[in-house]
């Protein structure tokens, strides 16, 4: 007691405080901000960027130091993300001024690399101000905005470690770069028309080409984009045909929020997402009767919309003033092109016109996709604007590299308590995609000077990622697909203690060799007990049934009502039906599955909404879309996951002429009720949803609301996708507990 009193009274008037901040703290103007704040409060000391984070030492009267601490948190740069903050009191050193010290390169690389940031308001104003020296300069940026992840070669994030190293700053830019009170102080990609990157071609020509219905390849931030006039049906059709993309919706770039409002319903939360620094594609509800060509989104319930996020996009959209399709510059299933010479070769049969520049892109980064679910932003594709921000999981991780799944692949590494997830790489279907996957692994490890000691992969023996892991020569941890799904969701939500994991998707390799996808796990201390699952059924033709949902329909009808009903309910050809019945009767090439995704396919096929998936999850999406604004409570029976009575009821409704939206709603409600049934039995308060099926907003929101009204806590994905793009995160955290 006396000691405390004595310490307090003996506290010297001048103290020194060291604060270390980790997270996304470099390249966002943090040092000049600290400099201004310390100077304003008459504190002395220094600030420096180290590869372990941002370190500040401030010295002065203790009240001023508390003020400094408080304002450091409250007023820090908007783009910064602080994941860990440590402070320590030191003895005063009697320093006389405050300085910004040179970066220190020694400590371990645990600092986050920042994602690319959308053009800030200040830069945008300068861009359109004829009196400004950067008027209409397509590469302007400052510490609050501009490219980061796509130009950084190594960390720490300093100009010589970026693709801007070959552009020598002119005197005016250098002055800005060196002046702590300037918005461009240490803005690594700082540039102007005199010293910076230049366009190869003109914005006017590109805009004219678009207006003429041509397809333009534009070198953007994370790679080439293919652009077309979204109002021009022929142009859109040509793009689909050349890109080999049948019906998957295209995203749009709109010149302004005002124009986006004229095409879509946009809530205030969605405005925030559109205008955020990540500037992702936001899935919005389209208004009817607009001039957007019908083949842009086909029957999708959403229109993916983004706003211009680089000065080049701003200038082009200012010239066009109409909505453009902006899709990744690749042929389907290939990675996005990033280099000029590569793009000219790979995109020559797709694009009619190119607009390029001479600022190199280090790594491909697609546009991210976000949608509001349960009133919160949920990422569906995590790339530009988010990658490679770390996800703090609050558990110490081993040096593990996780190679993810097969579709929508991402890879991840565990560093300390953070998981660094790569940008979306794509489906590992082609040689090019598998090369991109290998590049992403090398890149992530090199950037963080990371040497994996273990590799985590999926159980599926045929995944290209699993095969890579097997050849890596490192100790292997095989993680079951659906366990990885829920572990990822629990980790990003920092859910502690036991939970019920609801893991529903299209396909994943089960512990028994069957195709799982309708699983419930009781999870406690990393022990996964599969406590419930969908009643298994046969998938005739295996992988073929993933594309052709009518096969699942035939199988379920065959099991529930017998072979004659298959012919009655089928809308397709009798020969194909007969072949499937033959397979089912003899068990030839029939793979057992518990997949809820395939159950969606079957119901969508039975009611005539979709007989096949032209892209992953299409039939389920169309079935959800059928519900529209309809709100009904009735549900089909799905007790204990037995789909038999459900299939009988669906067919009875269909024969009775019940409207498809009603059938769709009753089907979704059946799934909600089944979750409630299992949750009531499991006796766990925390419920975690994951897997591609939970991209279904109706299902997610209704199930979450029903559980919450019964006192459960529900966790859904926000920072990583519920689809297989989130698998790598789950693999990392599960390796950490083994
Ligand atoms: Zn800016
Ligand atoms: Zn310059
Ligand atoms: Fe999955």
Q: Which residues pair with 180 in a beta bridge?
A: none
- Ligand 3 centroid–CA 484 distance in Å is 9
With CA atoms as reference, report the closest residue to 217 among 337, 323, 136. Answer: 337
Are 654 and 607 in contact, with CB atoms under 8 Å apart?
yes
Query: Rounded CA gap, 116 and 133, in Å?
Result: 24
- Ligand 2 is an ion; its neighbours by CB within 5 Å are 170, 173, 192, 194-195
Query: Rounded CA gap, 684 and 522, in Å?
Result: 8
Give the DSSP H or E segment for 519: strand 515-524
- Pairing status of strand 14-24 against strand 53-61: antiparallel
- Residue 381: cis peptide before it, omega within 30 degrees of 0: no
Are 682 and 493 in contact, with CB atoms under 8 Å apart?
no
Instruction: Kindly indicate the confidence band of residue 48, based on its pLDDT and cuts at 50, 70 and 90.
Output: confident
Query: Rounded CA gap, 116 and 387, in Å?
Result: 8
Query: Rounded CA gap, 507 and 510, in Å?
Result: 9
Rounded average pLDDT over 125-145 = 97
* Mean pLDDT over each residue of the chain, to the nearest integer: 93
* Rounded (10°) CA dihedral 124, 125, 127, 132: -150
What one-character DSSP code corresponds to residue 158? -
Sign of CA dihedral 64, 65, 67, 71: positive
Q: Which residues pair with 305 in a beta bridge?
A: 252, 282
- Ligand 1 centroid–CA 121 distance in Å is 7
How far CA 490 is from CA of 456, 483, 502, 717, in Å, comes to 18, 11, 11, 9
Query: Rounded CA gap, 365 and 118, in Å?
Result: 14
pLDDT of amino acid 109: 53
Q: How many helices (H) and strands (E) does the chain have?
A: 24, 29
- Ligand 3 centroid–CA 505 distance in Å is 5
Ligand nearest to the CA of 146: 1
pLDDT in tens, 284-303: 999 988 999 999 998 888 99
Rounded average pLDDT over 87-98 = 87
Ligand nearest to the CA of 463: 3
Query: Rounded CA gap, 91 and 112, in Å?
Result: 30
Rounded average pLDDT over 499-514 = 96
DSSP string of 542-569, one letter each residue: THHHHH-HHHHHHHHHHHHH-HHHHHHH
- Ligand 1 centroid–CA 354 distance in Å is 26
How far CA 567 is from CA of 63, 390, 582, 608, in Å, comes to 82, 53, 13, 14
pLDDT of amino acid 580: 92
- Ligand 3 is an ion; its neighbours by CB within 5 Å are 505, 508, 724
Q: Mind spelling out the 3-state secondary structure of 104-155?
A: ECCCCCCCCCCCCECCCHHHHHHHCCCCCCCCCCCCCCECCEECCCCCECCC
pLDDT of amino acid 111: 61
Identify which has the larger pLDDT, 393 or 645: 645
> What structural domains does the chain harbor?
14-100 (3.30.70.100), 113-197 (3.90.870.30), 199-369 (3.90.870.40), 388-492+720-737 (3.30.420.360), 533-715 (3.30.420.40)
Whole-number percent of the chain with pLDDT over 90: 81
- Ligand 1 centroid–CA 350 distance in Å is 33
- Residue 548: cis peptide before it, omega within 30 degrees of 0: no
pLDDT in tens, 327-369: 999 987 788 999 999 999 999 999 999 999 999 999 999 999 9
Ligand nearest to the CA of 515: 3
- Ligand 2 centroid–CA 466 distance in Å is 48
Rounded average pLDDT over 224-233 = 98
Q: Which residues pair with 57 in a beta bridge?
A: 18, 46
Q: Which residues pair with 521 in a beta bridge?
A: 501, 530
Q: What is the pTM of this model?
A: 0.90
pLDDT of amino acid 161: 92
Ligand nearest to the CA of 193: 2
Structural tokens at position 681: 């039995």
Least confident window among 8-12, 71-75, 441-445: 8-12
Three-point CA angle 475, 725, 381, nearest 5°: 150
Rounded average pLDDT over 481-489 = 98
């Amino acid at each position: 007691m006396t000691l405390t009193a004595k310490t307090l009274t003996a506290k010297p008037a001048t103290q020194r405080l060291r604060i270390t901040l980790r997270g996304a703290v470099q390249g966002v103007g943090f040092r000049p901000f600290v400099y201004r704040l310390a100077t304003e409060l008459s504190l002395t000391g220094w600030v420096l960027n180290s590869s372990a984070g941002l370190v500040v030492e401030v010295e002065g009267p203790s009240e001023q130091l508390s003020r400094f601490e408080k304002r450091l948190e409250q007023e820090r740069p908007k783009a910064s993300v602080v994941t860990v903050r440590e402070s320590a009191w030191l003895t005063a050193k009697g320093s006389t001024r405050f300085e910004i010290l040179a970066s220190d390169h020694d400590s371990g690389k645990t600092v986050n690399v920042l994602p690319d940031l959308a053009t800030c308001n200040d830069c945008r104003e300068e861009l359109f101000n004829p009196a400004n020296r950067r008027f209409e300069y397509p590469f302007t940026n400052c510490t609050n905005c501009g490219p980061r992840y796509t130009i950084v070669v190594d960390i720490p994030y300093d100009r010589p470690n970026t693709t801007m190293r070959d552009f020598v700053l002119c005197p005016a830019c250098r002055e800005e770069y060196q002046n702590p009170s300037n918005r461009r102080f240490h803005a690594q990609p700082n540039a102007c028309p005199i010293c910076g990157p230049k366009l190869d071609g003109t914005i006017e020509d590109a805009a004219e080409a678009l207006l003429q219905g041509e397809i333009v390849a534009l070198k953007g931030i994370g790679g080439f984009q293919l652009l077309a006039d979204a109002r021009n049906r022929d142009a859109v059709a040509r793009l689909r045909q050349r890109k080999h993309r049948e019906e998957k919706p295209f995203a749009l770039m709109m010149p302004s929020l005002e124009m986006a409002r004229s095409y879509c319903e946009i809530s205030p939360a969605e405005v925030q997402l559109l205008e955020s620094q990540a500037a992702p594609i936001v899935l919005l509800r389209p208004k009817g009767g607009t001039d957007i060509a019908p083949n842009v989104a086909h029957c999708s319930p959403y229109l993916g919309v983004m706003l211009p996020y680089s000065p080049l996009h701003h200038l082009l959209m200012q010239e066009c003033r109409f909505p453009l399709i902006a899709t990744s510059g690749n042929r389907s299933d290939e990675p996005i092109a990033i280099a000029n010479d590569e793009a000219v070769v790979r995109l020559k049969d797709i694009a009619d016109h190119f607009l390029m520049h001479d600022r190199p892109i280090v790594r491909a980064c697609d546009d991210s996709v976000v949608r509001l679910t349960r009133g919160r932003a949920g990422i569906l594709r995590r790339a530009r604007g988010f990658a490679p921000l770390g996800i703090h999981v609050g558990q110490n991780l081993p040096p593990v590299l996780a190679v993810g799944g097969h579709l929508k692949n991402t890879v991840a590494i565990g560093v300390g308590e953070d998981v660094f997830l790569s940008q979306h790489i794509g489906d590992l279907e082609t040689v090019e995609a598998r090369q991109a996957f290998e590049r992403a692994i090398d890149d992530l490890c090199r950037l963080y000077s990371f040497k994996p000691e273990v590799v985590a992969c999926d159980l599926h023996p045929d995944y290209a990622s699993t095969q890579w892991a097997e050849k890596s020569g490192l100790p292997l941890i095989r993680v079951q697909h659906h366990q990885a799904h829920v572990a990822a969701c629990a980790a990003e939500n920092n859910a502690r203690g036991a939970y019920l994991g609801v893991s529903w998707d299209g396909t994943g390799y089960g512990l028994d060799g069957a195709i799982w996808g309708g699983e419930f796990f009781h999870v406690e201390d990393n022990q996964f007990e599969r406590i419930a699952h969908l009643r298994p059924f046969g998938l005739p033709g295996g992988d073929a049934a993933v594309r052709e949902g009518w096969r699942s329909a035939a199988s379920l009808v065959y099991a529930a009502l017998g072979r004659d009903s298959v012919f009655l309910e089928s809308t397709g050809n009798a020969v194909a039906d007969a072949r499937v019945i033959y397979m089912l009767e003899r068990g030839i090439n029939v793979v057992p599955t518990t997949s809820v995704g395939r159950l969606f396919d079957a119901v969508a096929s039975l009611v005539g909404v979709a007989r096949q998936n032209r892209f992953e999850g299409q039939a389920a999406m169309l079935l959800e879309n059928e519900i529209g604004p309809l709100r009904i409570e009735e549900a089909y029976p799905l007790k204990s996951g037995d789909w038999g009575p459900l299939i009988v009821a669906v067919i009875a409704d269909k024969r009775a002429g019940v409207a498809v939206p009603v059938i769709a709603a009753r089907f979704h409600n059946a799934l909600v009720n089944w979750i409630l049934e299992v949750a009531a039995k499991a006796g766990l308060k925390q419920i975690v949803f994951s897997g591609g099926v939970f991209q279904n907003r109706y299902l997610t929101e209704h199930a979450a609301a029903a559980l919450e009204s019964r006192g459960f806590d529900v966790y859904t994905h926000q920072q990583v996708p519920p689809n297989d793009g989130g698998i790598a995160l789950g693999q990392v955290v599960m390796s950490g507990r083994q």
